[in-house]
Amino acid sequence: MKIVMLGAPGAGKGTIASRLSVKYGIPHISTGDIFRANIKNGTELGKKAKFYMDQGLLVPDELTCDLVMDRISQDDCKKGFILDGFPRTIPQAEALTDALDEKDEQMDYALNVILSDDKIVKRMSGRRTCPKCGAVYHIVTLPPKKEGICDKCGSALVQRADDSEETVKKRLEVYHEQTEPLIEYYHRAGIIVEVSGDAGADQEVDRLSEVLEDEE
Rounded to whole angstroms, the Cα distance separating 144 from 152 reads: 9
Rounded to whole angstroms, the Cα distance separating 43 from 84 reads: 22
Residue 24 interacting entry, from ligand AP5, Mg ion, none, C-beta within 5 to 8 Å by type: none
Cis ω for the linkage preceding 87 (within 30 of 0): yes
Residue 179 interacting entry, from Mg ion, ligand AP5, none, C-beta within 5 to 8 Å by type: none
DSSP-assigned letter for residue 142: B
Residue 171 interacting entry, from ligand AP5, Mg ion, none, C-beta within 5 to 8 Å by type: ligand AP5
In the complex with ligand AP5, the residue whose CB is nearer, 100 or 216, is 100
Contacts for 31 with CB less than 8 Å, ≥ 6 apart: 59, 64, 67, 68, 83, 84, 85, 86, 88
Rounded to whole angstroms, the Cα distance separating 215 from 209 reads: 10
Residue range at the interface with Mg ion (CB under 5 A); choices 9-17, 42-50, 95-103, 106-114? 9-17
Least CB distance to ligand AP5 at residue 55 (A) = 8
Contact 28, 84 (CB under 8 A): yes
Ranked by CB distance to Mg ion, the top (closest) residue is: 14
Rounded to whole angstroms, the Cα distance separating 5 from 3 reads: 7
In the complex with ligand AP5, the residue whose CB is nearer, 24 or 123, is 123
3-class DSSP state of 24: helix
Residues marked active site are found at 13, 88, 127, 160, 171
Least CB distance to ligand AP5 at residue 141 (A) = 4
Least CB distance to ligand AP5 at residue 88 (A) = 4
**What is the chain's Cα-based Rg?**
16
Least CB distance to Mg ion at residue 123 (A) = 12
Q: CA quadruple 117, 118, 124, 127: dihedral positive or negative?
A: negative
Phi, psi for 146 (deg, rounded to 5): -115, 125
Q: Does 14 bind Mg ion (CB under 5 A)?
A: yes
Residues of the shown chain interacting with ligand AP5 in the complex, contacts defined by CB under 6 A: 7, 9-15, 30-32, 35, 52-53, 56-59, 64, 85-86, 88, 92, 123, 126-127, 136-138, 141-142, 171, 197, 200-201
DSSP-assigned letter for residue 82: E
Residue 134 interacting entry, from Mg ion, ligand AP5, none, C-beta within 5 to 8 Å by type: none
Residue 86 interacting entry, from Mg ion, ligand AP5, none, C-beta within 5 to 8 Å by type: ligand AP5
Least CB distance to ligand AP5 at residue 48 (A) = 11
Residues that bind Mg ion (CB under 5 A): 14
